[in-house]
């Protein structure tokens, strides 16, 4: 079955980036000149997704406005013949059909995903975490996962290795290599706290493709780490009962939900930016001499 639907959970509180996220959703923080969520919606569209559900909550109206028309601004840019700028804002509403639903209570990522049940309507769907931006790679990361779903017919996790120190803040997955960057996943744990709990240094980072059966599992998933309903706990049940596939996607992932990730994304994406890349490279080289 062709996967054309995606869910972007963007209802988290963004406490790791306060005070910036007191009013501004972290998904709207800019990486050079585009809000993070635009990179994510563009990745979904480039992966063949036609319908996106963004899960929001209070104060996230900026996201809806960003993917809407801006008649006054567009009119002024048209009048002034600023086609270069106009083209950057004009067709954002055409990237995909974007739908919105509010997660009234912030009870965790698993709870947020459960809100997508009627949107998904019994089809397999992609999940792109609203604070994980992935750029570059052989194909868009979501497309790599969708292709693996087509080949292996099971839910797919987007994974990357993380350091031993970092794994406690992430999930850890038990994987066996199938071929190349494709693995079979039979178990996982969210935020392992002891060395014994660490299943591998591979972690689920920001992308997955799920079968609709996940909603029945989420309906009985109890709060786990951080006392939140964790998507990882529901996917663990799926991995144990049905099996899952994991793909080490080829793009570079930036966690814009933390301060360091925001800086990394700004610098690395900035270095490839056609307008400021060269200037930024020179600046960084000179500045590095003063460190």
Instruction: Write out the residues near ligand UTP by the rule CB under 6 A.
Output: 9-16, 55, 103, 106-109, 111-112, 129-131, 257
Of 103 and 221, which has the nearer Cβ to ligand UTP?
103
Cβ of residue 140: shortest distance to ligand UTP, in angstroms? 18
Cβ neighbours around 43 below 10 Å, total: 23
Of 108 and 158, which has the nearer Cβ to ligand UTP?
108
Cβ of residue 9: shortest distance to ligand UTP, in angstroms? 3
Give the C-alpha separation, 242 to 157, whole Å. Answer: 14
Calculated CA dihedral for residues 157, 26, 250, 226, nearest 10 degrees: -30
Do the Cβ atoms of 129 and 36 come closer than 8 Å?
no
Q: Which helix (H) or strand (E) holds 177?
A: strand 171-179
Cβ of residue 164: shortest distance to ligand UTP, in angstroms? 20
Cβ of residue 222: shortest distance to ligand UTP, in angstroms? 15
Question: Which SS3 state, helix, strand or coil, does residue 207 take?
Answer: strand
Report helix angle 259-271 to 277-289, nearest 10. Answer: 120
Residue with token string 């590095």: 288
Cβ neighbours around 137 below 10 Å, total: 15
Residue nearest to ligand UTP (CB): 12
Q: State the burial class of residue 222 (Cβ atoms within 10 Å of its Cβ: 0-12, 13-18, 19+).
A: exposed
Of 1 and 263, which has the nearer Cβ to ligand UTP?
263
Cβ of residue 67: shortest distance to ligand UTP, in angstroms? 17
Of 226 and 281, which has the nearer Cβ to ligand UTP?
226
Of 57 and 186, which has the nearer Cβ to ligand UTP?
57
Of 199 and 262, which has the nearer Cβ to ligand UTP?
262
**How many C-alpha atoms does 126 have within 13 Å on its Cβ side?**
35
Of 9 and 155, which has the nearer Cβ to ligand UTP?
9
Q: DSSP letter for 268, please.
A: H
Cβ of residue 160: shortest distance to ligand UTP, in angstroms? 15
Cβ of residue 163: shortest distance to ligand UTP, in angstroms? 18
Dihedral angle sign, alpha carbons of residues 12, 227, 206, 143: negative
């Amino acid at each position: 079955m062709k996967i054309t639907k995606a869910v972007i959970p963007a209802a988290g509180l963004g406490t790791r980036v306060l005070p910036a996220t007191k009013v501004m959703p972290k998904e709207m923080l800019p990486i050079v000149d585009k809000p993070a969520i635009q990179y994510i919606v563009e990745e979904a569209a480039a992966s063949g997704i036609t319908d996106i559900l963004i899960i929001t909550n209070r104060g996230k109206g900026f996201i809806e406005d960003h993917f809407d028309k801006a008649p006054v601004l567009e009119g002024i840019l048209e009048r002034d013949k600023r086609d270069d700028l106009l083209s950057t804002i004009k067709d954002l509403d055409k990237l995909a059909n974007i739908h919105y639903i509010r997660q009234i209570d912030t009870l965790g990522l698993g709870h947020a995903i459960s809100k997508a049940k009627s949107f998904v309507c019994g089809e397999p769907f992609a999940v792109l975490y609203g604070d994980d931006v992935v750029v570059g790679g052989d194909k868009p990361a979501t497309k790599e996962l969708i292709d693996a779903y087509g080949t292996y017919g099971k839910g797919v996790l987007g994974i990357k290795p993380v350091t031993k120190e970092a794994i406690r803040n992430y999930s850890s997955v038990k994987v066996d290599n199938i071929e190349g960057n494709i693995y079979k996943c039979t178990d996982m744990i969210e935020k392992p706290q002891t060395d014994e709990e660490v299943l591998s240094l591979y972690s689920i980072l920001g992308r997955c493709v799920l079968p609709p059966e996940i909603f029945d599992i989420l309906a009985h998933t109890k709060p786990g780490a951080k006392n939140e309903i964790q998507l990882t706990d529901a996917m663990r049940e799926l991995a144990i009962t049905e099996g899952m596939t994991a793909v080490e996607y080829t793009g570079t992932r930036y966690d814009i939900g933390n301060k360091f990730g925001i800086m990394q994304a700004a610098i690395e994406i900035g270095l490839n930016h056609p307008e400021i890349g060269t200037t930024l490279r020179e600046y960084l080289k000179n500045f590095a001499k003063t460190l």
